[in-house]
Structure 1
């Protein structure tokens, strides 16, 4: 069975707002962080997106040509499933809109043979899946900055979930990778 991996980049206070990435993400770039992100893409063969994240990423990746680290080719060739009640207006190769019962559709994807299913961004999607117990791992790249305000990844009204720390790694410039799995 495939693993469903939530892979997120965020500030220490949980902000993951794409409009402020110039403050909390880009200043902390390093070869280590880039290699980690590359590895995550290359070890997955399905991306699962919410509509907002898909519409943010599709215009760039579908037109990208520089395949220096193998990510562009992989991003464009891998299967992409988008959870959206609205039709998708931005084409991106190998994209399917998921319709029907979200939990049932994700469960079916997990039953297929293959590599990890990766969710990036897509906080509404992740928060919708939390009660289902379908998420196998959370991989959080935490950046050493407190934003104070901005869009936060986890909703405040969700129920608590206990997690087990399975891996940590410190990258240069103070970025920390925290990998958690749900306690069963």
Structure 2
């Protein structure tokens, strides 16, 4: 079974929205490091649509810094699975659909992998996978915002989990990375 790592940007009051993040060189290098250590990427539909609107073309854009181009190349090459009920409007290289909204196909996909799989963003999918006790590690990027945008992190989760702190470190001047392992 895959070791599923859930990486999520979160505001100080627990919201998750793509506009509420300090996305700088350290952030991109963190994401690249995480992907390098993983065999696959899993995304919810909304996060996939946000990513596929920018990243497929980023690898060849000369106006972007090298660290963004490297991340774009890694995102291009890694196998991607999207949990969705609709066909993909913008197919992206190495992408397949896992039928949603239930997570049976996602569970089956994860059971066939022995290494790391990363889930970026995707708060609704994160909640479903947390309730199914499939997340092994949480990596919260605590962003310096108080916000009313987006979903509340893990909103609606039904399963109580004890987490163990693995690491707390400053990612950049204003963002903290909090890594937790899910407990027994």
For Structure 1 versus Structure 2, the TM-score category normalised by the shorter chain is: 0.7 to 0.9
CA spacing shift, 1:81–1:12, aligned 2, 3 Å = same
1:42–1:71 contact (8 Å) kept in structure 2:
no
Deviation at 1:48, TM superposition (A): 0.6
2:40–2:117 contact (8 Å) kept in structure 1:
yes
1:97 corresponds to 2:93: no
Deviation at 1:31, TM superposition (A): 4.5
Which position in structure 1 is the counterpart of 2:82?
Answer: 82
Root-mean-square deviation (Å):
2.3
Q: Deviations over 1:57-106 (max 9, x none)?
A: 11211122248232111101111101111111111001100127854433
Q: Distance in 1 between matches of 2:74 and 2:126?
A: 23
Q: Distance in 1 between matches of 2:176 and 2:71?
A: 22
Q: Could you tell me the TM-score, scaled by structure 2's length?
A: 0.84
CA spacing shift, 1:172–1:55, aligned 2, 3 Å = closer
The number of residue pairs the alignment matches comes to 177
Ranges in structure 2 where 5+ consecutive residues have no aligned partner: none
Q: Could you tell me the TM-score, scaled by structure 1's length?
A: 0.84
Pick one of 41, 44, 47 that aligns with 1:47. Answer: 41
Ranges in structure 1 where 5+ consecutive residues have no aligned partner: none
Q: Distance in 2 between matches of 1:133 and 1:63?
A: 35
CA spacing shift, 1:180–1:30, aligned 2, 3 Å = same
